[in-house]
């Protein structure tokens, strides 16, 4: 049992820099479910996204386009939404763009070590 189970009524956001746009709807830290997060990460494309965010950025948010994924936009919307709704990423709307970053602190608090596995992952080289 995580000791963070009872911080009262679901807090949705974390203290982050400042004056940023509101994050799009996402599960609160204490509502993160292992099975849901694992499900979101059980897809190579989404692993690619999260790993790229972990390794090649972490400065700050990135747009869909930044990833250079060769898929139609509607497919990307789908996957980014899946990641966000599982609680893996946080998305913010900056004008036209929707930028994402990994909820490192939240995930590390609830599932320590999980992100390290994602960072160490390599796509199937077959």
Partner DNA sequence: TGCTAAGTTCGATTCTGTTCGTACTGTGTC
Partner DNA sequence: GACACAGTACGAACAGAATCGAACTTAGCA
Binding site for a copy of itself (CB under 8 A): 1-2, 33-36, 38-39, 41-44, 47, 111-114, 116-118, 120-122, 124
Nearer to a copy of itself, 64 or 88 (CB): 88
Q: Residue 95 touches which of DNA, a copy of itself, none (CB < 5 to 8 A by kind)?
A: DNA
Q: Residue 104 touches which of DNA, a copy of itself, none (CB < 5 to 8 A by kind)?
A: none
Nearer to a copy of itself, 1 or 96 (CB): 1
Secondary structure E strands in 78-118:
89-94, 97-102
Residue 43 CB neighbour total at 10 angstroms:
13
Q: Does 74 bind DNA (CB under 7 A)?
A: yes
**Taking CA 100 as the corner, what is the angle to CA 97 and CA 102, rounded to the nearest 5 degrees?**
175
CB neighbour list of residue 74: distance below 8 Å, 6 or more residues apart: none
For the chain, how many residues are written? 126
| Interface with DNA (CB under 7 A) | 39, 43, 45, 63-65, 71-82, 91, 95-99
């Amino acid at each position: 049992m995580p000791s963070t189970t009872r911080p009262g009524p679901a807090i949705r956001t974390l203290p982050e820099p400042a004056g940023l746009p509101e994050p799009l709807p996402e599960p609160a830290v204490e509502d993160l479910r292992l099975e849901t997060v694992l499900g979101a990460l059980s897809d190579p494309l989404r692993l690619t996204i999260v790993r790229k965010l972990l390794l090649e950025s972490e400065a700050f948010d990135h747009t869909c386009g930044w990833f250079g994924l060769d898929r139609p936009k509607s497919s990307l919307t789908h996957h980014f939404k899946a990641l966000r709704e599982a609680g893996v990423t946080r998305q913010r709307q900056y004008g036209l763009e929707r930028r994402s970053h990994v909820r490192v602190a939240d995930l590390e608090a609830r599932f320590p070590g999980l992100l390290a596995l994602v960072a160490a992952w390599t796509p199937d080289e077959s």
